[in-house]
Structure 1
């Protein structure tokens, strides 16, 4: 007597019910834009997250012989919407990127709007009374002169007695 052979059908489970068909895209990265858009919508739906101050700026700090020069990209920010504060060695920028009025339907928004702040700690002593700042073409440029005692200088080496 021969025993029955149980055959496995990959489209059916053990009870014989049809399994759902899994579709895999040919491009594994095809859905990332859709995932990013959905996550962005989810984060914006929390509402209060949009009101939290943010601080992501491209910042360059250059040290010259007599000053530190700080450049911060602030595209679309008016001079009246920026506040610059100095405390010992820390430079802090506060402000707001205002959302402009639109006439059409906004389909995608990746530029940030709202309040921002950013702090930069400079590596040396600064003469706080002589700090200057300008905002041109979306770049805030701050020149922070070094304190007189903090400037580097070359020291002349002279010959001395007893050197062999």
Structure 2
């Protein structure tokens, strides 16, 4: 049974106080098969899955292969410190942190809501 893994994984982009964070669930992928590139303010995440399973029994032989690749690109939000982008991969979840520049952090101003 050959089944292609063609569905792009779900990715979330969340804005936090001092950084943006992209998370992606990538079960069955090895960190060495993940590639992250930054060019012209666009962050591209590529991944490749190559999974093989073989079972040999007296009466039957089963070979399963799952393979495929995905690519997702994100336009970097304004005020990201590109030199400090950091990526980590743990338990099948990729986390890419996009720290905000000092100016971008200062630009946020809290507005007090007063009772009318």
Q: By the TM > 0.5 criterion, same fold? A: yes
Q: Structure 1 residue 144 and structure 2 residue 101: aligned?
A: no
CA offsets per residue over residues 16-57 of structure 1, 9 Å max, x none? xxxxxxxxxxxxxxxxxxxxxxxxx9xx8xxxxx5xx95611
Root mean square deviation, CA, Å: 2.8
Distance in 1, Cα, partners of 2:6 & 2:38: 19
Distance in 2, Cα, partners of 1:135 & 1:114: 19
Alignment equivalent of 1:90, drawn from 13, 17, 42: 42
Does the C-alpha gap of structure 1 residues 91 and 122 become closer, same or farther in structure 2, counting only changes over 3 Å?
same
Alignment equivalent of 1:74, drawn from 26, 29, 37: 26
List aligned pairs for 1:109-128, cutoff 5 A.
113-128=67-82
Q: Calculate the TM-score normalised by the size of structure 2.
A: 0.73
TM-aligned CA deviation for residue 116 of structure 1: 1.9
Distance in 1, Cα, partners of 2:22 & 2:83: 16
Q: Calculate the TM-score normalised by the size of structure 1.
A: 0.53
Does the C-alpha gap of structure 1 residues 120 and 135 become closer, same or farther in structure 2, counting only changes over 3 Å?
same
Does the C-alpha gap of structure 1 residues 115 and 56 become closer, same or farther in structure 2, counting only changes over 3 Å?
closer
Does the C-alpha gap of structure 1 residues 62 and 155 become closer, same or farther in structure 2, counting only changes over 3 Å?
closer
My pick for the range that moved more, 97-106 or 138-147, is 97-106
User: Unpaired segments of 5 or more residues in structure 2?
Assistant: 56-60, 112-116
The equivalent residue for 1:134 is 88
Larger radius of gyration: 1
Distance in 2, Cα, partners of 1:84 & 1:135: 12
Structure with more of its chain in strand, by fraction = 2
List aligned pairs for 1:1-164, cutoff 5 A.
54=6, 56-103=8-55, 104-105=61-62, 113-151=67-105, 152-154=107-109
Q: How many corresponding residue pairs?
A: 104
